[in-house]
Amino acid sequence: MTLHPNVVTAALIPPVALLFPGQGVQRPGMGVELTRLFPEADRAISRAEEILQMPLRRLCFEGPVDELLRTENIQPCLVAVSYAAFEAFSQRYDTSQIAVVAGHSLGEISACAASGAISWEDALLLVRERGRLMAEAAFTNPGRMLAIVGLTEVQVEDIRCQASAAGGIWLANLNSPNQFILSGEASAIAAAERLATAANARRVVVLDIPLGAHSPLMSRAASKLAETVRALPLRTPQIPLIANGTGFVLHSVNAVRSELVGHLLRPVLWARTMAAMQRMRVATVVELGPGRVLASLAAKHMTGVVTWNADELLVDEQGR
């Protein structure tokens, strides 16, 4: 770590957890201030453009929205911005205080890179392939995703079972004890939306994600992505890395490879990730990516934890 002179940094209480968000947090303008303030972040975006041969800077900073929202574009863009934030963070904070890393869905690949289990270059190439394969799968097996907030796991499972009469539908994310995402065929998702609304869920939203992630609708993409993962030169994580599929720490190359092979089919058990971080006595959570979806979940469900996102910690602090 190299601390630059005259750089403002906040005091982070260790142990620190770094979290990386997944698809759904993207927005035009993401990363603009980060790259303006931090040369490392700017170089990271330029390097990602060079590796992927994509106009990442334009897509992240300007859009347009319809182009950014394409699955094959969203995914490398989000990983590139998360990579840029991690580079800026690593130059300004004591990385020895990082006790654990984790990423939600797509963000798990960023977390693997932050842990040292995969190089950033390979992570970018992997996520580009992931986005391409998922876009293809969505074309042949269309699907949608539904967020339900304010019901219990038992209630959501009952809704899922009833809605399955209209088509395939599966639990994709267990984000917290009262926040869930279902994934499935459009007809089944529409039925689940009606049932969740009738059950007085606090919030029921069909996500602006044109596919059925973390479900059998991704089977074709998952089998092809697994071939890519098996060929990757992975390493043992240097920082504890929590798996989406189990909420357990991955300690070996084989464990990381197994997690990534099943990545597109397994549900994201984020509630277990937060429980694992609580057991590790994490005191500070830093979300490195656009927005603060994961930081907000941590603030609500991890007792006593202090939360930051990239803009708050890096952009706003630097501007003071």
Angle (CA) 198 208 17, round 5°: 95
CB within 8 Å of 139: residues ≥ 6 apart: none
82 is catalytic: no
Cβ atoms of residues 249 and 112 within 8 Å: no
CB within 8 Å of 314: residues ≥ 6 apart: 34, 37, 38, 85, 88, 89, 92
Please give the biggest Cα pair distance in the chain.
62
105 is catalytic: yes
CA distance 241 to 261: 16
Q: What torsion, rounded to 10 degrees, do the Cα atoms 195, 244, 108, 303 define?
A: 90
Query: Quick check: helix, strand or coil at residue 308?
Result: strand
Residues 105, 110, 115, 215: which is the catalytic one? Answer: 105
Residues 82, 104, 115, 214: which is the catalytic one? Answer: 214
CA distance 145 to 137: 15
CA distance 140 to 211: 10
Residue with tokens 């994490």: 282
CB within 8 Å of 73: residues ≥ 6 apart: 54, 59, 67, 131
Annotated catalytic sites, by residue? 105, 214
